[in-house]
Structure 1
Amino acid sequence: MKSSDLTGNVRLLLTKAKLPDEWRQNGAQALRDVFEDAGYRTELTLCDNPDAIRDQITNNSKPGDIVAVGGGDGTINAILDAVISKQAVLIPIPLGTANDFARTLTLPDDLIDAARASIHGQIRMLDVGYANDQSFINAASIGVPADARKRINPDLKRNLGAISYAVANWQSWHEMAPMDLTITCGTNSPQNLKLRQLTITNGRYFGGGLRPSETKSPEDGLLHMFAIRDSVDTLSGLDVAAELLFGSVDDSEFAMTMECDAITINGEDGAPILADGEIISKLPAKFSIRAGALAVFAPNSFVGLADQTHGEEHTAPLVHANEINDVMRDTLDLALRLQATYPVAQHSELKSLCHDGTRALRNIYRQLEQDLHPYGILAASPDPDLHSLEELRDRVMGWLLKDADHRLANGLTTRARVLEEKVTALAAEQLPEDIKTHVSALKREIADFHKSISGILKSL
């Protein structure tokens, strides 16, 4: 799908019940203005539910139309096949509770900002996952998450949003019996495992902002699987939860992970499969992926994760551009994590380190960003909207963890170690002088921070 294939039409399809009152009265004029100002003919339809949105796409859209769909991950799941079948281009308008698909695309929570970022972005062809031929975009889970789906309190979900998922998962963890499963990943030999949970991801996020892998992309043609064994106790399970909130389980000692393009799961016949917030199938199951199946308008921040361009001022590419981009992203990512950790931490030295570290890393990041701009290196995109997870982390850790400071410090130590290794690996002597200066400053800052946070961790 290319921009030249577009019809110039935007079909704006919004879930009526989730709209702000003002928008119901004025026909979502502010949102329509975003698309019309960008030069698109925009037609608004207010729908009662995801099925009605799907029917609108099936019956009224044409190949090359943009369908801007307002709803959450369940809504996106419901309309996936229709968008693909009609060869339309999707723009998600985040009106749901978790909005993990929007997070994957680095979309902001604000509806106007999300629409503006998308329509001024680029067309990307994303992978789509399948469980027994039923499509999903974010993740499919068996075990605790699927059991927790039926436990979510609608009032709690309405009032507390994503935290309702944490409460339901906590209940399922304690009450659900482990599963005996046989898992075959790609051409590998089958494995017989006793598990509490198995999650297969296509996108970067699931479950209200959890990220299972540092490197997972909806454009890599692979499914990522992580599983929690039955031998993992409650405290270790909380460590897995903290890893999902603060980074990934790629290197976890409590979760096993693997990647391949097809996964077969047998055992526990009839057990439900939860995908994108909805039950879509049951075991036994064959999971597969269709690469590049879904056309979306993705913001430039998402595009920048994969694409590197060179500016006009410097015609030659910058040495180690990809490595520098990784360092930039991880620097901003750590700064945001420190900022989110500051109000949660109780230990005085940990709070002070978070406060000072946030300021220092942001300053260095801004200086590097200015130096790299002439080379056409886009601003790094961190985990989208980490601030929205602050309340979730605060409440979950306040309710469930007695030693939150220790777990917070442990997560920050891991992040600092990874960033320090990446900065150290850069061949700074090959960089332009101005960039080399700031990379050296970052190297000193992160080394000092790593030493300090490690010392705090030992004292805790």
Structure 2
Amino acid sequence: MKNSDLTGKVILLLTNSKLPEAWRENGAQALRDVFEDAGYQTDLTLCDDPKKICDCIANETNPGDIVVVGGGDGTMNAVLDTVIENKVVLLPLPLGTANDFARTLTLPDEPLTAARAAIHGQITMLDIGQVNDQTFVNAASIGVPADARHRIDPELKRTFGAISYAVANWKSWQEMTPMELSVSCGDEEPQKLTLRQLTVTNGRYFGGGLRPSENTRPDDGSLHVFAIRDTVDTLSGMDIAAELLFGSVNDSNYAMTMQCNKISITGNDGAPILADGEIISKLPADFTLHPAVLPVFAPNTFFDLVSDNASKEGQADIPQRALVNDIACDTQDLAIRLGAIVPVAKDETLKAACHDGARHLRDISRQFELTLRPYGLPTTSPDPDLHSLEELRDRVMGWLLDNADTRLANGLKTRCENLLAEIDDLDLPTLPDELQTPMRTLNDEIGHLGNIFAKLI
């Protein structure tokens, strides 16, 4: 589907329970203004639940309409099949607790800002995962996350949001019996595994902001698997949590990873499968991928894959374009992560390093932004709502472990090492002169921070 297939009509489908109070009084006029200012005819329908949203899509829309669905991951999961069947274009409005689907699309957490970013973006066709006869867009998990779904305290969820997931997962980790499973990925021979958790991901995020791989996208044509063995103890489990928080378990010592487009799992018959925040199936399970079937309106920041010759017409070219882009994006991302840890770190050295490092990296990011603007870089923005998610999860780690600061320092050290490796891969003299100076400054700053974090471990 292309932007030219659009009808010029936006259907706002909002559930009464998730409607912001200010919108009740004026018919969500502020939201309607976003789309009308962009040139779209806008209709608003208030629905009681996701089923009513699906009924409205099926009965009151035409192919090429944009349907703005307000809710969280469970709501998005509930409307996937209906959106595909009716050939409308989904624009998710983050009004849920976790909003991992919106986060995958790089949508900001604030609804009006998210709507504005998306409607000025473009259509993309996303992959959809399927487990047994149920579809999902983010991830499907067996083991601890599925067990934890039953342990979430509704009052804690209403009060603290994403923090309730972390507390429930901690309880499940402590109390759940590991699973004896047979797992086959693609055409590989089945593996007999004893696991605490197995998660199949299609999107970038799951579980309220966890990111299993830096390169996973819902349009890459693959399902990605990571599994945690029963031999991983509680402290090592917290290391996995830190790895998920800081970007990847691909090279983890504690988690095994796989990539394919079909997965079969047997054993522990009847064990629940959690997908996009809801229990949707049970073991045994067959996972498959449906590539490029879900039309979604995504902001331009989602389209962040570049190659060394990917400059657009009318833009100046730059050597090592993809690597320069990655360094600029990772610098801004690390600055936000450092700033998020400042309020929750207990160790004064860690707190000071994060405070000063965040300030210095923001200065360098501003230099990058000014220097790289003629080249159309950087091509993406940092993870939306990372500030609050980091803070919530860091607080949980602080409550549960006395050495949370040490584990955070270890994650930051790894992040610094990865960024230093990217800088080391640059052929610096080939870059424009005005870019070489901030790049050298960045190298010195990251090296300095990495040394501090290493001493705290």
Task: State the TM-score, normalizing by the size of structure 1.
Answer: 0.96
- Which is worse superposed, 247-256 or 96-105? 247-256
Deviations 1:286-325 (A, max 9, x none): 11111111111111111234585436352xx211110111
Q: Aligned partners of 2:454 and 2:77: how far apart in 1?
A: 43
1:369 corresponds to which letter in structure 2? E
Give yes or no for contact 2:166–2:393 (8 Å, CA) kept in 1: no
Q: Aligned partners of 2:424 and 2:340: how far apart in 1?
A: 26
Shift of 1:432: 1.2
Shift of 1:391: 3.3
Deviations 1:393-422 (A, max 9, x none): 242022111101111110000000000000
Secondary structure (helix, strand or coil) at the match of 2:36 reads helix
Residues 1:145 and 2:137 aligned together? no
- The residue that corresponds to 1:338 in the other structure is 338
- The residue that corresponds to 1:220 in the other structure is 220
Residues 1:84 and 2:113 aligned together? no
- The residue that corresponds to 1:66 in the other structure is 66
Deviations 1:114-172 (A, max 9, x none): 10000001111111111013110000000111111111111111111111111111111
Give yes or no for contact 2:127–2:290 (8 Å, CA) kept in 1: yes
Give yes or no for contact 1:13–1:69 (8 Å, CA) kept in 2: yes
CA RMSD of aligned residues (A): 1.3
- The residue that corresponds to 1:269 in the other structure is 269
Residues 1:186 and 2:200 aligned together? no
2:182 corresponds to which letter in structure 1? T
Q: Aligned partners of 1:65 and 1:413: how far apart in 2?
A: 47
- The residue that corresponds to 1:312 in the other structure is 314
Shift of 1:356: 1.2
Shift of 1:199: 0.5
- The residue that corresponds to 2:438 in the other structure is 438
Change (3 A) 1:385 1:22: closer
Q: Aligned partners of 1:306 and 1:263: how far apart in 2?
A: 30
Deviations 1:196-255 (A, max 9, x none): 110000000001111111111111101111111111111111111122122221111111
Q: Aligned partners of 1:9 and 1:320: how far apart in 2?
A: 41
Q: Map 1:192-231 to 2 at 5 A.
A: 192-231=192-231
Shift of 1:281: 1.1
- The residue that corresponds to 1:18 in the other structure is 18
Give yes or no for contact 1:311–1:376 (8 Å, CA) kept in 2: no
Residues 1:375 and 2:378 aligned together? no
- The residue that corresponds to 1:93 in the other structure is 93
Shift of 1:451: 2.2
Q: Aligned partners of 2:441 and 2:85: how far apart in 1?
A: 52
2:226 corresponds to which letter in structure 1? F
- The residue that corresponds to 1:389 in the other structure is 389
Shift of 1:78: 0.2
Q: Map 1:6-45 to 2 at 5 A.
A: 6-45=6-45
Deviations 1:236-288 (A, max 9, x none): 11111122122221111111111111111111111111100111111111111
Deviations 1:351-385 (A, max 9, x none): 11111111111111110111111112245422222
2:312 corresponds to which letter in structure 1? H
Q: Aligned partners of 2:437 and 2:395: how far apart in 1?
A: 41
1:165 corresponds to which letter in structure 2? Y
Secondary structure (helix, strand or coil) at the match of 1:395 reads helix
Q: Aligned partners of 1:237 and 1:91: how far apart in 2?
A: 35
Secondary structure (helix, strand or coil) at the match of 1:304 reads coil
Residues 1:158 and 2:158 aligned together? yes
Give yes or no for contact 1:12–1:43 (8 Å, CA) kept in 2: yes
- The residue that corresponds to 1:326 in the other structure is 326
Secondary structure (helix, strand or coil) at the match of 2:205 reads coil
Q: Aligned partners of 1:262 and 1:76: how far apart in 2?
A: 23
Q: Aligned partners of 2:311 and 2:433: how far apart in 1?
A: 21
Q: Aligned partners of 1:32 and 1:47: how far apart in 2?
A: 16
Q: Aligned partners of 1:379 and 1:267: how far apart in 2?
A: 44
Give yes or no for contact 1:311–1:374 (8 Å, CA) kept in 2: no
Q: Aligned partners of 2:280 and 2:338: how far apart in 1?
A: 38
Q: Aligned partners of 2:243 and 2:400: how far apart in 1?
A: 15
- Which is worse superposed, 444-453 or 78-87? 444-453
Report % sequence identity.
Answer: 63
Residues 1:411 and 2:411 aligned together? yes
- The residue that corresponds to 1:422 in the other structure is 422
Q: Aligned partners of 1:429 and 1:161: how far apart in 2?
A: 48
- Which is worse superposed, 301-310 or 2-11? 301-310
Q: Aligned partners of 1:329 and 1:45: how far apart in 2?
A: 38
Give yes or no for contact 1:142–1:199 (8 Å, CA) kept in 2: yes
Q: Aligned partners of 2:194 and 2:304: how far apart in 1?
A: 40
Q: Aligned partners of 1:33 and 1:343: how far apart in 2?
A: 36
2:153 corresponds to which letter in structure 1? N
Give yes or no for contact 2:303–2:380 (8 Å, CA) kept in 1: no
Give yes or no for contact 1:328–1:380 (8 Å, CA) kept in 2: no
Task: State the TM-score, normalizing by the size of structure 2.
Answer: 0.97
Q: Aligned partners of 1:150 and 1:353: how far apart in 2?
A: 39
Secondary structure (helix, strand or coil) at the match of 1:107 reads coil
Q: Aligned partners of 1:313 and 1:162: how far apart in 2?
A: 41
Where does structure 2 lack aligned partners over 5 or more consecutive residues? none
2:128 corresponds to which letter in structure 1? V
Shift of 1:23: 0.9
Give yes or no for contact 1:369–1:379 (8 Å, CA) kept in 2: no
- The residue that corresponds to 1:52 in the other structure is 52
Secondary structure (helix, strand or coil) at the match of 2:257 reads strand
